[in-house]
Each structure stands twice: as C-alpha cells, then as structure tokens.
Amino acid sequence: MNKLFLFDVEGTTTDINFVHKVLFPYSKERMATFVKENALQSEVAPIISDIKKTVYEEEKRELTTLDEVCAVLDSWIKNDRKHGALKALQGFIWDKGYKSGDFKGHVYEDVKPFFEKLKYLGFDIGIYSSGSVHAQKLIFGYSTAGDLTPLISYYFDTKVGAKREAASYLNILHEVKRDANEVTFFSDIPQELSAAKEAGIHPVHLVRPGTAVSDFFGIKDFSEFKI
Ligand SMILES: [Mg+2]
C-alpha cells in the first residue's frame, strides 16, 4: 500500500489566526440573522431542536423563542463550546462566505507544492482536524492557493475521536486500511503527535512562527521535509 501523509489544519497547513480572526468573527456576526432566516429550513430545523434538547437536558429549561436559542448560541460561542449544532450552523454560514468570495481559506505557501509533490510521487493525502469535514473541504476547496481538494483523498474530524487520544489514530488507520508505519502525521501540537506515535504513526512537528519546539522531529515548513 502507498504511504499516507496526514495533516492537522490549524497551525500546520493554515495560520491559526485565520480561524480565530476571520472565520469565528464572521460566523459570530451573522449567527442570529442566519438562525432567524433559516429556522424552518429542513437542514436547520433539526439543529435548533438539538440545541433545545441539550439545554433541556443540562438545565431543565425550555427554549420557546428563537431569541432564546440565539442567546444560547452566543454563550456557546463565547465559551468556545465544541457542540455539533454550533459547528453545523457555523459551517452553513462559512459555506456562504467562501462561495460568495467574502474570504478564502488560508494555507501557507509551502502547502500546495508539498501536496503536489506527494501526489506526483504516488502518495495519498489526508486531513485530520477538530474542525468538521465540511469546514475542512471549504478551507481547501476555496483556499488562497486555489482548489486543493483534488489532491486530498481523506478527511477526518472528531467523529473518529479526539486528537489527543491514540484510539482516534487507530480508527483512522482502520479506515484507510494501512499499517501505522505507512502513515506520517504532521501537527503543531506535541500532545497530538504523542497520541499518533502511540498508535505507531510517524510524527512530525510543524514549528510555524509562534510555535515552540518540542522533542519531536520538527520542520519550519514543508519544504524542509525530505521524503
Ligand atoms: Mg493544530
């Protein structure tokens, strides 16, 4: 089987500021309007039910108006809560933003040449990020380097498990039908690299500007990586 190169996104292929300074403020500003305009849409209605269910389970409180739903979403955004309903709504809003050209998905300049080199050599590329698969496809589909999705074979989010747990990487190996020694994982977070290593995957630390070095083998950008 050919090798698989697996990439984290934030801090690895993409400036961490893109998510925090572009994506999150964009969806925060538009959340209430989006919910109110689309509450009855078939894709959105179940998400709102899910929010009501969570609040009832946790606080025994019934949300009866969309204003109340929006207030809950606002507090989840402030607390950076990783709730599936919030992520799904953000995904819809970002979708519109990318497609209307309000912004592009940031990727570092060394990403596209590296992806192209890997594909040229016959290797496979996968993404593993805590952002949803949908959000990943948008970043790479509408990126500052153009549409990179034709180069990417696999997308994984936290449905396979958390990024700091070895079991998640074992799940990925199972899905891509490869042995651990055929897979390399690039990330800026040492705890994620430890989890990948525990699963037998080869870890590489991306030490972008602002990232502290670690005991893991590290590179400043992908041009430094010798295949
Ligand atoms: Mg990261």
Per-domain residue ranges of the chain: 4-15+104-224, 20-99
The residue count for the chain: 227
* Burial letters 185-203, b for 16+ CB under 10 A, else e: bbbbbbebbebbbebebbb
The whole-angstrom separation of Cα 59 and Cα 22 is 32
How far, in Å, from the CA of 96 to the mean position of ligand 1?
A: 24
pLDDT at 1: 67
- 68-76: long-range contacts, CB 8 A cutoff, minimum separation 24: 69/35, 70/31, 70/32, 70/35, 70/36, 73/31, 73/32, 73/35, 74/31, 74/32
pLDDT at 132: 84
Name 41's Cβ contacts closer than 8 Å, sequence gap at least 6.
none
Exposed / middle / buried, residue 14 (Cβ in 10 Å: 0-12, 13-18, 19+): buried
What is the 8-class DSSP label of residue 220? S
Name 78's Cβ contacts closer than 8 Å, sequence gap at least 6.
none
How far, in Å, from the CA of 104 to the mean position of ligand 1?
A: 19
* Burial letters 29-58, b for 16+ CB under 10 A, else e: ebbbebbeebeeeeebeebbeebbebbeee
At 31, list the tokens: 């959340």
pLDDT at 173: 98
User: Consecutive sets of 10 residues in the chain, 227 residues long: mean pLDDT of each?
Assistant: 93 94 95 97 97 98 97 95 91 94 97 98 96 91 98 96 97 97 98 98 97 97 95
How far, in Å, from the CA of 99 to the mean position of ligand 1?
A: 25
pTM (predicted TM-score): 0.86
How far, in Å, from the CA of 11 to the mean position of ligand 1?
A: 4
How far, in Å, from the CA of 165 to the mean position of ligand 1?
A: 14
CATH architecture under which domain 20-99 falls: Orthogonal Bundle (1.10)
How far, in Å, from the CA of 68 to the mean position of ligand 1?
A: 33
CATH architecture under which domain 4-15+104-224 falls: 3-Layer(aba) Sandwich (3.40)
